[in-house]
Amino acid sequence: MPSVSRHISRLGALAACSLLLLGVASGCSTTQEKAEKQQAQSKHILEARAERQKHKHDKDKPGKQDEKGNQR
């Protein structure tokens, strides 16, 4: 009977290692998804910043007036 218990213990160890590897693999995909989301958010922030700066520089140009004759 010692061979049966040895076989069961090997299967148990293999199952535990498999579960651990599955947990690590799923954690990596979650980390990658977070990184992609953060990168997209950063890109959006930089684009919005560039647009604001573009409008700010346009505002500094003399001679631009709105319909009421006020400087923008």
Q: What is the DSSP string of 7-26?
A: HHHHHHHHHHHHHHHHHHHH
41 assigned to some structural domain: yes
50 assigned to some structural domain: yes
Long-range CB pairs of 26-31, under 8 A, 24+ apart, other chains included: none
What is the distance, to the nearest Å, from the Cα of residue 20 to the centroid of all Cα atoms in its chain? 24
Q: E strands, the chain, where?
A: none
30 assigned to some structural domain: yes
pLDDT at position 62 is 59
18 assigned to some structural domain: no
40 assigned to some structural domain: yes
Question: Considering the chain, what percentage of its residues have pLDDT values greater than 70?
Answer: 71
Question: How many structural domains comprise the chain?
Answer: 1
48 assigned to some structural domain: yes
7 assigned to some structural domain: no
Per-residue pLDDT, averaged over 7-27, amounts to 86
- Which residue range forms the structural domain that includes residue 50? 24-57
pLDDT in tens, 39-70: 999 999 999 999 998 888 766 665 566 666 66
32 assigned to some structural domain: yes
- Cβ atoms of residues 64 and 51 within 8 Å: no
* Predicted structure pTM score: 0.43
